[in-house]
Amino acid sequence: MADEKKTQAGDDMAEKLSRKIKNLDAVFKPSSIAVIGASMEPNKIGHVIVKNFIDGGFAGKLYPINPNASQILGLKAYKSVLDVKEKIDSAVIAIPAAAVAGALEECGKKGIRGVVLITGGFSEVGKVEEEKKIAAIANKYGIALIGPNCMGVITPATRVDSVFLPIYKLGRPRVGKIAFISQSGAVGGCIVDLTARAGIGMSKFVSYGNAAVIDECDLLEYLAHRSVAKKITRKKPVVVIKAGKSAAGAEAAKSHTGSLAGAAEAYHAAFKQGRMIEAETLDELFDFAKIFDQPLPTGKRVGIITNGGGMGVLATDSLEVEKMDLAELSDETNSVLRAALPTYANVRNPLDIIGDADSHRYEIAINAMMRDQNVDVILLIILFQTIAIDSSVVNIAIRASDTRKKPIIAVCTGGEYTDMHKRILEGYGIPTYSSPSSAMRAIAKFAEYAKSRKAK
């Protein structure tokens, strides 16, 4: 009998967890959203959130909730979610901490399944019991609660945007395949802005703050439809960065989200065991994540194409540091290249097609390496400052990448003219880096992940 009760209790808990995670649908793809704390004042968070939903093109129903307003940004305002006759899928709460529990209770009574709680002032300032209270309310109604003390959620495909920073200050990414979750809103916001600037797409962005109800494990399970990190990485790569690994950083983390940070070695071991890709810096996090737009490599042999010899040498140095292999070009590839390239070009890997190379010369080199079975990854270095290179080289790279035969990674170093072309390449799914070392570091992580996938 005791075993039966234990089994039943376990089943009930599993059902609650399953419902909580399933209800994240209401957060990411709702048909209707209430903004509790909507404001008429432009400098208030509640005003910015409503405006972002409108300006971002959210196609569902939007209900501003403010007991002291009849209309906000042209939309009818309501005193409470209980005053809205229609069904509401999701709510964003941005009101003082003291009023949150009451508002959340009303959300539960209304049947709202997902809530993004922007409001801070809970465990991160020592008010642990107040946070437990709102978690209990959410769990009682099966509400998937993101937060408190978070920046919000963006789902480009559904035009959901509860991030409280204005669109003109923080860029919004296009629709893509990368999901990014961050406990820190500040870090997350920087990544979102960089992603938008680079033209890289995102499927979802989540700042989950104090994680009173929904934490990173729940989000990973939802995103990958699996419950364990190791199982998730069999299906999708997980790139992770852990803040608070130093003693001072751990202390700072306590006052940021109310979370404790453990020993760096323990986290490193856990990430490795779960086959997650650990980044040490924000630059690495960004660099590692974007490379997964490319097809997985079948090995770690790299073919390097450059129109600047020095850059090819730097790439080769980085290749050795990252323990990658310099591909040995096949006899057929060597013959094709010798016939097509100028006599003063030295046909070898790294392949320097010389500073006077035009787009056609790049096309010959790329096609030859695409056909070469000895090459697993192509590192394409383009110095846009040279006289003969123009924008057509971008089209050539994109056409080759679109075949999905093997990964193409680009390195473009320079100023505004170069950056313009980098954004175009990124926009078409070719990860582009400013230095050979950063590109090779990402390639090494990419190849390591591909190898672990193959081994399973």
266 pLDDT exceeds 80?
A: no
Q: Give the helix ranges, DSSP H, for 322-408.
A: 331-340, 359-371, 392-402
Range(s) within the chain of domains with CATH label 3.40.50.261: 294-455
* pLDDT one-digit tens code per residue, 333-348: 999 999 999 988 889 9
- Quickly state the pLDDT bin for 252 (edges 50, 70, 90): low
**What is the mean predicted confidence (pLDDT) over 353-358?**
93
Task: Give the CATH fold of the 11-225 domain.
Answer: Rossmann fold (3.40.50)
Q: How confident is the model at residue 117 (pLDDT cuts 50, 70, 90)?
A: very high
Give the residue with greater pLDDT, 334 vs 276: 334
- 449, 218, 249, 255 alpha-carbon torsion, rounded to 10°: 170
Ranges of CATH 3.40.50.720 domains, the chain: 11-225
Better pLDDT: 345 or 114: 114
Lowest mean pLDDT among 85-99, 147-161, 257-271, 411-425: 257-271
CA angle 241, 242, 245 (to 5 degrees): 140
Q: Residue 227 has what pLDDT?
A: 40
Q: What is the pLDDT of residue 12?
A: 53
Lowest mean pLDDT among 13-22, 210-219, 389-398: 13-22
Between CA 424 and CA 419 the distance in angstroms is 9
pLDDT band per the 50, 70, 90 thresholds, residue 222: confident
| pLDDT at res. 13 | 46
Higher pLDDT, 249 or 306: 306
Q: Is the pLDDT of residue 2 over 50?
A: no
Identify the band that residue 19 occupies on the pLDDT scale cut at 50, 70 and 90.
confident
Report how far apart the first and last C-alpha atoms of the chain are (Å, whole number): 40
**Segment 192-208 mean pLDDT:** 90
- In 100-201, which ranges are E strands? 114-117, 144-146, 152-155, 160-161, 175-182
Across 418-432, average pLDDT: 94
Average pLDDT rounded to a whole number, residues 155-170: 95
Give, in words, the CATH class of 294-455.
Answer: alpha beta
Q: Which of 192, 270, 201, 260 is nearest to 229 (CA)?
A: 270
Q: How many other C-beta atoms are found inside a 10 Å radius of the C-beta of residue 270? A: 15
